[in-house]
Structure 1
Amino acid sequence: MADANENEEIELITSDETTQEFDIGEAPQEDDDGMEDEDDDGKISAEDADVRDDADMVFNKHGGPVYSIKVNPVDPRIVITGGGDDVAVIWNREDGNVLHTLSGHQDSVVSVDFSFDGKYAATGGYDGVVKVWEVATGKLVQNLEGPSQEVEWVCWHKKGNVVLAGSGDGT
């Protein structure tokens, strides 16, 4: 099991068996290496990247592109992803099993984050709503009206139960 405070890496493996490595807690970033979901099929293509498959499992339960991923800061076996299929998924990264599918957004879930105690997750979507979920049960705890337009990012504040959110219009 990885310690979230150590400088370790995790691999994101898609159903077409491409991989992308990134530091725990850091979302995969689109850059000039060709790693992006150009056809919105839930798979990250690797046109110009070095592709290998030494993974133990594949996470492939989203029905569209995966926009965001975060590792639980208390239990790094738990991962949350947000996707273009309007849902977030809480996974067990050790065995690849889906723990909870978080439904309720009316548009793509583009940002996810865990509270610092690991008990709650926040999801932000292009529907302009931020949702707070209980990680252990997958139960919706709170609907929060987000910025005036699509939510581009959510972030749990380090000093309390405060969720920050932002959109492309500067709010």
Structure 2
Amino acid sequence: MSARENSRLILQSDWQDALREAEGTAWITYKKPGESTSIHGELTCHGLSVDQTPYITPSQGFAVDKVLKVSLLGHRISVSYEDAVTKCSCHFQAPSDVFMNIHQTSVLSMDVSRGGLGVSSDSRGNLSLWTSDNGDVRRRLEGHCGDVYSCRFFPSGLVVLSGGADSQLKVWSAETGKCAVTLTGHQAGIMDTTIVDKGRNVLSASRDGSAKLWDVGQSQCLTTFKEVGGIINSCALDVVTQEIALGKGAGEHSEREVATEGKMLLLGIETGSLQGFGLYSREKIFDLNCHSAVNCCCFVSDNLVCCGTQDGCLYLLDLRNTETPLQVIKESRSAILSLQPCGAGVFVGTGDGSCFLMTGAFQTDLELTGSDCDPIYSIAADGSYIYSACRDKTIRRYSCMKQ
């Protein structure tokens, strides 16, 4: 299946600042699918209303459909372009908060809890816990050497799992900052992690070409998935619909293995495949050829998964029919580096700094602005806000409420 390319609107990354002053301008570009040329225009501010919302006029066939300023939620603008052949529109949302002091170098991974905490890691081996409403650092978690590629909260929000270039998987107390467990066994850096149920078992994916299921309580590896054919860049785990056969699960299982039944493990492989395994059965269920390195993967529902590739394609796959992708979408962007499910859609972070919502109808509905061409390495959500982690050392927070 060939990739479908959508038309795209691109807005200046700091548009909300540029349009704050009278006669201030921000550039806007329309890119038509399959064409190298683009149409460029400007948005110009002609003063502010009583509530400080700008009056904006566009040029070159662009139209401003709506401008919103809500003090606690940031700014949002809706822009469209129309010619004789096509019409394209998009909402652009500026961050409501920008956290610049948590890290001093590229932020590689991030997670947020519903209890008001964030955890993030960077390219110097730093792991930080911070308050998600204002970015104040609560404590530093020290113990990794080198890049920390993955960090995430256990469901309780009180425990953190991390993995990095030092091949170590660590479990931390968010309350004390102490490392409770260090799991070793990989022969190369750990690129991604995921947690089984409440966290008695966890999973790690490594550059050594293997994924491991661990018993945290006894610091033991319970099984290894290693017949994957290359470096594993990403992993995801979830319960799938009963329509999907996950294998028979022959053989003995340790009593230390908890809640692995009915779950599928996704692995994104550097050699260009997305693979699915029955976690309990250990059987490979499918192997989808994506033609380029798979950088990230996630579950959208109990029967739909997606992955992003180095060549900028987003693959959407129905697990009830894994022979052919449901959709392959390429939006004239660079490599897809991060994914975060949101309702029936998924937020997508790319190497050119774009962060957009791909809806269930396979259309770009919303762009989160702020990054000026710096890659978005991680996206997280806490139910009220979306957070992006960027190479420019910044974590940005966006309201995901309806406006």
TM-score by length of 1: 0.69
- Seen in structure 2, the aligned counterparts of structure 1 residues 146 and 81 have a Cα distance that, compared at 3 Å, is farther
Correspondence for 1:69: 151
For structure 2, the residue ranges without an aligned partner over 5 or more in a row are: 1-101, 128-133, 241-261, 274-403
Correspondence for 2:161: 80
Larger fraction in strand: 2
SS of residue matched to 1:127: coil
Residue 146 of structure 1: how far off its partner (Å)? 5.0
Structure showing greater radius of gyration is: 2
Aligned partners of 1:122 and 1:163 also within 8 Å: no
Residue 62 of structure 1: how far off its partner (Å)? 0.2
SS of residue matched to 2:233: strand
Q: Distance in 1 between matches of 2:208 and 2:110?
A: 29
Correspondence for 2:181: 100
Q: Distance in 2 between matches of 1:54 and 1:121?
A: 29
Moved over 6 A (4+): 18-21
Q: Which amino acid aligns with 1:162?
A: M
For structure 1, the residue ranges without an aligned partner over 5 or more in a row are: 1-12, 29-34, 45-51
Asked if residue 126 in structure 1 is aligned to residue 228 in structure 2, the reply is no
Aligned partners of 2:126 and 2:141 also within 8 Å: no
Residue 154 of structure 1: how far off its partner (Å)? 1.2
SS of residue matched to 2:239: coil
Q: Distance in 1 between matches of 2:136 and 2:159?
A: 20
Residue 128 of structure 1: how far off its partner (Å)? 0.3
Q: Distance in 2 between matches of 1:146 and 1:57?
A: 39
Correspondence for 1:9: none
Q: Distance in 2 between matches of 1:124 and 1:118?
A: 16
SS of residue matched to 1:63: coil
Q: Distance in 1 between matches of 2:119 and 2:140?
A: 17
Q: Distance in 2 between matches of 1:126 and 1:76?
A: 28
- Seen in structure 2, the aligned counterparts of structure 1 residues 43 and 98 have a Cα distance that, compared at 3 Å, is closer
- Seen in structure 2, the aligned counterparts of structure 1 residues 153 and 21 have a Cα distance that, compared at 3 Å, is closer
Correspondence for 1:162: 264
Q: Which amino acid aligns with 1:67?
A: Y
User: For residues 79-117 of structure 1, what are the alpha-carbon distances to aligned partners after superposition, in whole Å with 9 as ceiling and x for unaligned?
Assistant: 100101011101111111111111011100010000134
User: For residues 96-146 of structure 1, what are the alpha-carbon distances to aligned partners after superposition, in whole Å with 9 as ceiling and x for unaligned?
Assistant: 111111101110001000013422100000000101111233221111115
**Percent identity over paired residues:** 22
Asked if residue 55 in structure 1 is aligned to residue 55 in structure 2, the reply is no
Which of 85, 107, 125 in structure 2 is aligned with 1:42? 125
Aligned partners of 1:130 and 1:146 also within 8 Å: no
Asked if residue 135 in structure 1 is aligned to residue 223 in structure 2, the reply is no
What are the equivalent positions in structure 2 for 1:7-46 lying under 5 Å apart?
Answer: 22-24=111-113, 37=123, 41-43=124-126
Residue 54 of structure 1: how far off its partner (Å)? 3.5
Aligned partners of 1:65 and 1:84 also within 8 Å: yes
